[in-house]
Structure 1
Amino acid sequence: MVIQWYPGHMNSARKKAAEAMAAIDVVIEVVDARLPEASTNPLIRELRLQRQRPCLKVLNKADLADPVVTGAWIAHYNRQDGVHALALSCRKAGEVARLPALCQALAPHRNDNTKPLRMIIMGIPNVGKSTLMNVLLRRKLARVGDEPALTRAQQTTQIDIRHSLTDTPGLLWPRIEYPNDGLMLAASNAVGRNAVIDEEVASFLAGLLLSRYPARLAGRYGLSAEAIAGGDAATVIEQLARRRGLLLRGGAVDLEKAARVLLQDYREGLLGRISLETPETRRAMLAGASAADRAAVPDDDSRGHGECCPTVSA
């Protein structure tokens, strides 16, 4: 399944974000700590680099992610020019309260009452931008909820005399290039329900969990050793359905309900602290995609001879 989701309001949001970038000092880019690179919008990087703005990269929902993997991602991002990365949970006010000082360190020239620090929060839908803003402001200003694209308008608020903060709508990019990115985003509830098929997303998630966190699946759903050892996503979802009594008339398993249970348990952290990608798996995926691209290009011997060069699936 190829997942693409780019509602019309996002094009307008992108234009307004580009305009706002001219009048801000630091970009606070919020990503999902469970899938930091898949949830990084390349358009945001493009916009901030055009204006040469530093970035505070916030790996939010760190309480749901594998801490060892998160540490590897922090080191990865902190090696990038103009980027300072940290992991936090926006549910913890003390962690969020550190952000203005960290942004100040990235723009030391904006540090008095006549030149207040201007920050902007950006990121894809449902990574916690609005919750982060509400915690920073210590009041409920931005609308939040467990569904993507609730924020539709850009708004700027003064935190105090020396700091202002602009919240922006969740912004995806027009074409998700890698299918696994789309599936990770869908599993993490970052795309609209109308763009996904829950059973296919759950099958992807079950396969990934089998390969990296099999004990979590077995512990949560009481799965048999055969289901775990066999490494079959369909068997996992079927056994989950039977264990939970998710049956249709006649005794057939309700795969749709079972898929929703798996996805919701992952989203709520009931399977434990899980990361869907690591720097190593990301590099492997990109290398595989590059190999497929190269295989799709004819070499010198086949050009002009009417031969079809084979493609390799990544």
Structure 2
Amino acid sequence: MLVDTHLHIIDKSRLSYPWLAEVPALDRDFLYAEYKRQALRAGISDAIHMEVDAAPDRIEAEIDFAGEQSRQPGSLIRGCIAACRPEEPRFSALVEKYTADPFVLGFRRLINPLPDGVSDSSIFVENIRRLSGTRLTFDAHVHGHQLPRAIGLADAAPQVRLILDHCGVPDIRGGDFSVWREGIADIARRENVTAKISGIIAYADPDNWTVETLRPYVEHIIESFGWNRVVWGSDWPVCTLGGGLLAWTSATHALLSGCANEEREKLFWRNADRIWKLGLGASLTHPTDPEATQSP
């Protein structure tokens, strides 16, 4: 099995995405049917829909939209990570409403575009702490030089499972490895943080990257977090900026070619199954997995 923990579906007839105007290559519909064709060819068995930073007044509409896609016959979608605004008081009502909805697996806020100080403000931190004791995770999207923002949040909410998107968005094209490497080693010391190895081809030179270009980044993530705290994602359609879904899945398999089957399984599906309780391996729980019975 291969679980895609980071699928975006874009349907401009249903939702408004203001940011797309700034990225012409993505400023079109990327519908579920298109993804499914490619995903099945790539060996993806299950997927989690990730919010697409739709207009703030459409957060709940996007949850409903993702739910509709999951109810299509033979759908791969098992749940969604919803958008949120922890810097606003209404966040608490959103958590209360969706804690009981098994389709909503967690929340995400794009931290990278926020002004300095917002993600460590008292209201932001207090709202993220509301996820403590729930099954809900929080995806943190920061760029490599902004990793201290995610570290601060992980320290302020130690009982919340934080998911670090896209390997912490390293500047692969620019080659700024050292700052990112140190930040990853630091945040990985926080046991409540899981790293998502997802779609990093979008941050490499689209015409010149190879498996060896990506290797130092993926290997440093795995070395820092260990096999029990990594999950895989496509970041489709953003990954099309670097070659597409098949290119990324092929690169992933090549990068892991020397790993043990048990290690690959943890990254590919077992960790995601455990963290979001997807029920994929209910009868296949590995008896020697040290985190199989642990909570965040």
The TM-score with structure 2 as length reference comes to: 0.28
Which protein is bigger by CA-based radius of gyration?
A: 1
The TM-score with structure 1 as length reference comes to: 0.27
